[in-house]
Structure 1
Amino acid sequence: MLSYTYVDNSNVFIEAQRVSAVEEGMAADLNDAIDRRVFNFNYKLDYGKLYEYLCGEDDRQVGCAKLWGSPPPSDSFWAMVESKGFEVVTYDRNAAGKEKKVDVAIAHAITKDAYTKVNKDDSEIVLVAGDKDYVPVIEDLKSEGYRVVVVFWDHAAYELKQAANKFISLNQWLSYLQK
């Protein structure tokens, strides 16, 4: 099976810190963590382990492993992520500190790759993100016969989980994915 993997870095990283905060008892549950904006800032995602988890199965070949986000203060972070196997695409945050281009860029890349590179018969598209902005793209690809897998924390948008052929939770891998 050939795997085409697309990762929304800030989405998976920030939500990992939120899930970790609940695991560490810093919040009663996820809703509490969201309401009070509680994060475990000590939790650091290990991108080598994330790549291994997403792309490292013996019978899987990597068509692509792309990761999007906004540069943190140290651009050496992105060089490290590339060294772990991801192709990196970055966008600066807007004046309000928001990443507005990332979701659209990922959706565009998935669609473009699907129609130019992905073979429906022996490939799957893996999206590592949790918000429902991706639902129209996934629904369209599924209707065209593509296999789409969403990998994220348990609290991914319900609509996103339903749109995918398969949803895989990262929650059980929280400790493993920690640096």
Structure 2
Amino acid sequence: MDYTNNKKLENIKKINYLEEEKENYIRTDEILEKEQIKIKESLKNKSKILKFLNSYLKLSDPIEKNNLEDCSNIIQKEKESFLYKINGKEIYILIKISNAKDNNLIYKIFNLAMEIINYWNNNMMKKSLRYPIVIPIVVYTGKEDWKENYDFSRYINYENNGIYLHYNLIKAKQFIKYLD
């Protein structure tokens, strides 16, 4: 084999490799898109969200179907967010879907939690002076590995006010396992 044929053969191998990588990338995108659709549909289905919440939160008293209320209308401007309230308790569960790592997510969740608390403060009968509890859960559907559970309490300390900035991070595959 001469030099020209060797170069052609190398180029063909490179092209085949790039085509294979492109196919894997497209396949990965399709899988992620299917996961995102399944997650969004599950978060709209009351029985599936109950199954997830009861198994993920490991509550001593499981949430009954008639004790969970969809309150997503409170945070309508948030596209990828769902909000549920446990009836009889002043507990809201905020579930946000994120397809990219976001170092400012904790602050966005804090703002959403404050929006929920302000709504409660303005519209609900004040049975107690205590504000409702907001449990934030982030379902991560992105490609990159996101191992860290961002807990900024070591950077931001509001000890006198009792504010603890934290959220629960769950990856898409883990979320789907809770549904199966």
Tell me if both proteins adopt one fold, taking TM over 0.5 as the criterion: no
Larger helix proportion of the pair: 2
TM-score, with structure 1 as normaliser: 0.33
Q: Which has the larger radius of gyration?
A: 2
